[in-house]
């Protein structure tokens, strides 16, 4: 079990963001999110680059607990992009900006908790990572559950043998 766990940890990819992880960084940027009212936020992306001609704004998205809202993201000057999107004041939202750079997608996100009026992050835009196939995830999940079930059966059987041994030892005294 220790060897299997060690191999799993050694082969696991690094993640620089919350699930599903962060891919290869591209250009430095600042993402600022500001709460407008109890229902919406404005989003502003400032890309620190000499030229942003190959960046095309796609959309802004907010995600929380299985809920996703999307809205447009528009160019607002040289290397600046703006949008507004619905995000209730309750709970923590993850606000994304999604753009296209040449033939690849890039994005950046910032968290905004319910009690916060603004959030700002300074880090690179990044390429979203490739997600593993769902078939691989199913096989991994089944294997993990089988291992857990095997350990549970082993524990129950061992405790029955230990209980019988202890009870037998007390009877001999």
The DSSP code sequence of 60-83 is EEEEETTEEEEE--EE-STTEEEE
Give the 3-state secondary structure of residue 17: coil
Place of tokens 């591209």: 26
Does the domain made of 15-126 have the CATH classification 2.60.40?
Answer: yes
Nearest in space to 130 (alpha carbons), one of 26, 13, 28, 27: 13
Q: Where are the domains of the chain?
A: 15-126, 132-173
Q: What does the pLDDT read at residue 27? A: 86
Q: What is the pLDDT of residues 60-102, one digit of tens each?
A: 998 888 888 899 999 888 889 999 988 887 888 899 999 998 8
User: Residue 116 corresponds to which tokens in the numbers above?
Assistant: 């916060």
Which residues in the chain land under pLDDT 70? 5, 12-21, 131-134, 169-173
Q: What does the pLDDT read at residue 170? A: 62
**Cα dihedral value 61, 62, 66, 67, nearest 10:** -90
Q: What does the pLDDT read at residue 140? A: 79
Give the 3-state secondary structure of residue 94: strand
Place of tokens 């600022």: 32
pTM, two decimals, is 0.63
């Amino acid at each position: 079990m220790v060897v299997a766990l060690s191999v799993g940890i050694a082969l696991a990819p690094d993640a620089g963001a919350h699930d599903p992880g962060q891919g290869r960084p591209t250009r430095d940027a600042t993402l600022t999110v500001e709460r407008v009212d109890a229902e919406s936020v404005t989003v502003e992306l400032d890309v620190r680059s000499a030229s942003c001609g190959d960046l095309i704004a796609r959309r802004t998205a907010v995600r929380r607990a299985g809920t996703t809202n999307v809205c447009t993201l528009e160019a607002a000057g040289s290397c600046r992009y703006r949008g507004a999107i619905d995000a209730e004041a309750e709970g923590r939202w993850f606000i994304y900006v999604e753009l296209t750079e040449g033939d690849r997608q890039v994005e950046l996100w910032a968290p905004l908790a319910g009690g916060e009026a603004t959030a700002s992050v300074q880090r690179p835009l990044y390429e979203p990572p490739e997600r593993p196939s769902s078939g691989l995830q199913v096989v991994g999940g089944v294997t993990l559950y089988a291992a857990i079930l095997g350990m549970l059966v082993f524990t129950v059987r061992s405790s029955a043998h230990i209980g019988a041994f202890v009870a037998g030892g007390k009877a001999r005294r």
